[in-house]
Amino acid sequence: MEEGWKRADLHVHTTCSFDVLPAKNLLPESLYEKALGMGLDFVTFTDHDTVDAYDILGWDREQLISGVEMTIYDPKFAGHTLHVNVFELCREDFSELTEISKTEHDLKGFIRYLKRHKLPFIYNHPFWFELRQQPDLSAVPELAKLFPVLEYNMHELRQKNELTITLAEKFGKGIAATTDTHSGGLGKVYTLAKGDSFREYFKNIERGKNYIVPEDLTREMLTEEMNTWIDLIFEKSQRNRDIKRYLTGIKPLDAMVRISRSTLLNYSPRLNRTTMSLLYMISNTGLPASLYIHSKENFAREIEKKIEIKGQK
């Protein structure tokens, strides 16, 4: 740090994301103060398809870099949904990008806009696919060629992250390590690069002049995440009956969210406490996390069989 290296977690969600529970410590202001207290040099929030966090915080706060995680489905070129983090955008940029992604469904047009306006952007979790979509695995290497930086995501298995690194090395792309946290765990992993400004910092990531401090999804990490969600759902968020109707795609977490929606739990504090204790007990066995990771390991092996990255040009 004394030599000018800067530290940032470039994928963080607040309560402005539709899949984050309405807890006080996940509000933009709370996470902003937490990030500064941790000593992060650049603070950014990449909520799903919204920049509301910046309307709440103000767009010109100290060390705050505007960001968003854009969802784009291009059935002709990509064949499946992608998530793209975009930084240093204004509200007008966000409106234009929303039009391209939601109405035109044009990934190449989306990326042309980013390059024309010189906006930094990242291909998030390249080997993540939406539920109920049939992924086109062979498209991922071609898609990776379009992006300056690929994401090493803390909530992905090591096998998937290693495939992402292989893609980056093959095509000369940068790598950024991020938490993709939805529960306040920002800064657990991060990316180091030099740069007096965010633009210089990101440019060095693009050039590979950076270090990543990563972690991968493990049974222990997922169990800890489940316990955090139990706490958020049953202790901090239960008073707010407007728990968002979104499923994370992580089956153990989704099961807890479904249970928390029970009208009976809302009106029976004793049953609510009993259910919370039971879920803690089940979570701490490690079994739900193990089953989920086992299923994802099988999928990762399937990806490795179907994609010959080394053979790509």
25-39, 70-84, 226-240: least confident range: 226-240
Average pLDDT over residues 61-73: 97
State the pLDDT confidence band at 264, using cuts at 50, 70 and 90: low
Q: pTM for this structure?
A: 0.87
What value does the mean pLDDT of the chain take?
A: 89
State yes or no: pLDDT of 221 exceeds 50: yes
Distance from C-alpha of 136 to C-alpha of 145, rounded to nearest angstrom? 16
State the pLDDT confidence band at 265, using cuts at 50, 70 and 90: low
Q: pLDDT tens for residues 161-205?
A: 999 999 999 999 999 999 999 999 999 999 999 999 999 999 999
pLDDT the model gives residue 160: 94
Long-range (24+ apart) CB contacts under 8 A made by 303-309 are 303/127, 303/137, 303/159, 303/160, 303/163, 304/159, 304/163, 306/137, 306/138, 307/137, 307/138, 307/140, 307/141, 307/163, 309/141, 309/163, 309/166, 309/167, 309/170
Q: pLDDT tens for residues 274-309?
A: 888 888 898 899 998 898 899 889 988 888 887 766
State the pLDDT confidence band at 1, using cuts at 50, 70 and 90: confident
pLDDT the model gives residue 39: 96
Give me the helix-helix angle, 287-306 and 158-171, nearest 10°.
Answer: 30
State the pLDDT confidence band at 233, using cuts at 50, 70 and 90: confident
pLDDT the model gives residue 261: 57
State yes or no: pLDDT of 47 exceeds 70: yes
pLDDT the model gives residue 3: 85
Distance from C-alpha of 52 to C-alpha of 283, rounded to nearest angstrom? 33
